[in-house]
Amino acid sequence: MPHKKFQSCIDACYACATECDHCAVSCLHEQDASSMARCVKLDMDCAAMCRLAASYMARGSEFAQSICRLCAEICEACGEECAKHEMEHCQRCAEACRTCAEECRRMAQAA
């Protein structure tokens, strides 16, 4: 069961995707939503990539390692952008992105 080996990374990916979805929607409700455009775009990219990475790991794909490397890169970019904003939803998202990036890097090295 390949997914058991990477369960902590899969969990981090799903948690990150959830925070990114929440952050994107919350950013759209901010007073100056247009200033949050990059944050929203990265949230959407990151959420999609995290779900993709989790599914590749769950089925033991031979490409999971490569996908997780890219996922870590996208999570880092999203986390850096979210960390620039003071809103609680952005700060929670930044933390989830950092955690996921760490887990994905660990998975890519261990696989």
CATH of the domain at 41: 1.20.1270.360
Q: What is the pLDDT of residue 111?
A: 62
Q: Which domain holds residue 59?
A: 2-110
Q: What is the pLDDT of residue 1?
A: 52
30 and 87 Cβ atoms separated by less than 8 Å = yes
Whole-prediction pTM value?
Answer: 0.94
Q: What is the pLDDT of residue 110?
A: 83
Closest CA to 79 of 66, 92, 65: 92
How many domains does the chain divide into?
Answer: 1
- Give me the numbers of helices (H) and strands (E) for the chain, helices first please: 5, 0
Task: HSE, CB side, 13 Å, CA atoms: give it for residue 11.
Answer: 5
Residue type, 14: Y
Q: How far apart are CA 82 and CA 88, in angstroms?
A: 10
Per-residue confidence in pLDDT tens, the chain, 111 aa:
556 889 999 999 999 999 999 999 999 998 988 899 999 999 999 999 999 999 999 999 999 999 999 999 999 999 999 999 999 999 999 999 999 999 999 999 986
